[in-house]
Structure 1
Amino acid sequence: MKENYGVHQLKIPLPFPVASVNSYFFPEPIPTLLDVPPMGDYFMKTLEKRLNAVGSSLAEIRRIIITHPHIDHFGSARDIAEKGGVEIWIHETAAQALEEYEEDFLDTNRFFESLLRKSGIPEELLGQTTRFFDWLKGFACRVVPTRLLKNGDEFRLSSMNLRAVHVPGHTPHCMLFWEPDRKIAFTGDFLLKDISSNPLLQRPWVVPQGYRSVTSHARSLENVRGMKLKVAFPGHGEPIYRPSERITELLRFMTRRKKQIRHILSTGAATPFQIILRLFPGLPPDQLLLALSEVIGYLETFEDEGLVERHETGHGLSFRLMDRQ
Structure 2
Amino acid sequence: MKYRIIPVTPFQQNCSLICCEKTNKAAVVDPGGDLDKILSVVAEEGVELEKILLTHAHIDHAGGTSELAERQGLPIEGPHKGDQFWIDGLAQQSQMFNFPPCEVFTPGRWLEDGDKVVVGETELAVIHCPGHTPGHVVFYNPEDQVALVGDVLFNGSIGRTDFPQGNHQELIDSIKNKLFPLGPDVEFIPGHGPGSTFGQEMQSNPYVR
TM-score for the superposition, normalised by structure 2: 0.82
- SS class of match (1:73): helix
- The one of 140, 159, 163 aligned to 1:178: 140
Contact 2:13 2:60 in 1 (8 A): no
- SS class of match (1:53): helix
Q: Which residue of 2 aligns with 1:165?
A: 127
Q: Which residue of 2 aligns with 1:31?
A: 26
Higher helix content, 1 or 2: 1
The 1:229/1:65 distance shift into structure 2, 3 A limit, reads farther
CA distance in 1, matches of 2:156, 2:9: 16
CA distance in 2, matches of 1:253, 1:189: 14
CA deviation string 1:72-100 (max 9, x = no partner): 111111111112531111112223432x2
Q: Which residue of 2 aligns with 1:48?
A: 39
The 1:248/1:222 distance shift into structure 2, 3 A limit, reads farther
C-alpha root-mean-square deviation of aligned residues, in Å? Answer: 2.7
Structure 2 residue 197 is matched with structure 1 residue 226: no
Q: Which residue of 2 aligns with 1:187?
A: 149
After superposition, residues 80-91 of structure 1 pair within 5 angstroms as 80-90=68-78, 91=80
CA distance in 2, matches of 1:187, 1:254: 15
Which 5+ residue runs of structure 2 have no aligned equivalent? none
CA displacement at 1:20 relative to structure 2 = 4.2
CA deviation string 1:131-168 (max 9, x = no partner): x9624353533112110111000133356321100111
CA deviation string 1:42-93 (max 9, x = no partner): x12211222222114xxx5331010011111111111111125311111122
- SS class of match (1:226): helix
Structure 2 residue 201 is matched with structure 1 residue 246: yes
CA deviation string 1:200-245 (max 9, x = no partner): 3325xxxxxxxx61110111111111221421122223331x3133
Task: Calculate percent identity across the aligned residue pairs.
Answer: 21
Q: Based on CA coordinates, which of the two structures has the bigger radius of gyration?
A: 1
Letter paired with 1:93: G
Structure 2 residue 23 is matched with structure 1 residue 8: no
Letter paired with 2:112: K
Q: Which residue of 2 aligns with 1:65?
A: 53
CA displacement at 1:8 relative to structure 2 = 2.2
